[in-house]
Structure 1
Amino acid sequence: MNVRIGTDRLDAEVLTDGGCIASIRAGGRELLLRTPWAGLDDGPPMAGSVAEWHRRYRGGWHLLLPRPLGPAVVGGIAQPFHGEAAWRRWRLEQTSTTACRAQVLLRTVPLAVDRTVEIIVDEVRVTTTVQNMGPTEVRLGWAEHPSFDAAIFDGGHVELDGAKVAIVPLGAGAFQDRPVETGHALVHGFDGLSVGLCWDAAVLGRAYVWQERRATPDFPWYAAADALAVEPASQPHDHPEDDLGTLTLAPGAARTVAITLTIHNGLTA
């Protein structure tokens, strides 16, 4: 069962499918990308995990783990596009009107994932713990994939470590992979609206900025997706295909990362 949490000012919906945060609404306005085919899972699957991911992609905010990049075979185990965690059905528990817990046990690697999503005033706080349940060290990659409705920020920019990344105009697309030191990003739009992201850059030391502003006329977007994603990640986007990632967990060890999305102006007044 999917879970909706929040207040009359800010609310979110979390899905069992992929543990995805499918919606964050501030003042009744949706902040996250929602594709026209969101939730349309009928029909035959497409060959390969890249095509199938995009066939089913609804937008929202996914956790990409244990390999957040392209599909690969690592240690004889096939890893799907964007990582197993985003493909699995999670167990959800609503712990209060403003918080929920999501859990999943991966099978391609022996990792247990425990994730909480909380609404605190004008913030969405996501705290994730990953624990190695196996008898040997596990390597992994980690990325958070919040995709925003780019139209809300049209004409604005993304600020990362004081540097500005322009939001491209409608009809264009762009991708950047940048190292980060502070773990702070601000997405500035019109009318004074800004949305902040804050995370632990010691673990997630990169930020991917993906923009698809109705730029692709054919599959998978058909000029229908207007997306802006700021994605904290643990490794460069060109990380070798024969490795999961740059992080390691010893047997029984766990690592926790918190990421906070803050509405600074505009939508919750």
Structure 2
Amino acid sequence: MNTEQFNKMKSGKGFIAALDQSGGSTPKALQFYGVNDDAYANLEAMFDLVHEMRARIMTSPVFTGDRILGTILFGMTMDREIGGKGAAEYLWEEKGIVPFLKVDKGLVAEADGARVMNPMPDLAEVLDEAKDHGVFGTKMRSVIKLANETGVRAVVDQQFEVGRQILDAGLVPIIEPEIDIFSPEKAGAEVLLKAALLDALGQLGPDQQVLLKLTLPEVDGFLDELVEHPNVLRVFALSGGYTREEANGRLARNHGVAASFSRALTEGLTIQQSQAEFDAALDASIASIYEASIT
């Protein structure tokens, strides 16, 4: 494990930029960027366009390790070049930003008010490739829809089962059991999730630490026990569909929690902007998320 990267993630000021839109979420991300689905004929062309968007963000002079701790990459991004280097290598060597890799393969159908992850039969090979590129950690997402203890426990059990495999491989997992912000039982689901997370964390070894990426809670300070837990390297929050203003407001009221935003980060960026306009909009976005992350 890279000690410099570990120390940055543990105590550095800033947030994680989530640039890991998958095949399912890429069309919407491109639409927000000003690229309609009639602009590409197939998946290959779609991924080319989203890579151009990501590269434009990562190569911007305002996108640096001064305010951004890490960036989560989609697998196809890690396999491509940015600035003449592999994307992960570029982030760390040129920007001082810790690279992460999205490793999940999407979600199964909802059961017991939750959606667990699809199997990952090639995970060991993916982790080996990630290490070859200098990746520090991974990210995997599940979704909780209802305050159903069976569903919540299934999500957390699976996250930690895979998380231990990632730890054994020498990488640090971001555990992401997202609660749908539109859930009619959001507050109740948060109570169940925190209890399940505390149980799972208690089963880790004293030298095993994970990162958590959680939905911004209904009660300010609700995540404090997790922020202070010895097996938690850091707690991050997803924007989950909240506007950047709403996400930043909630984040600033939860001290010790930093952002790991995707849509809220890229809000207001369009392909039609000049480079100066794009950089100014990105700078304003980064500045606001950074300020909310260091409370």
> What TM-score do you get using the length of structure 1 for normalisation?
0.27
Q: Which has the higher helix share?
A: 2
> What TM-score do you get using the length of structure 2 for normalisation?
0.26
Q: Which has the higher strand share?
A: 1
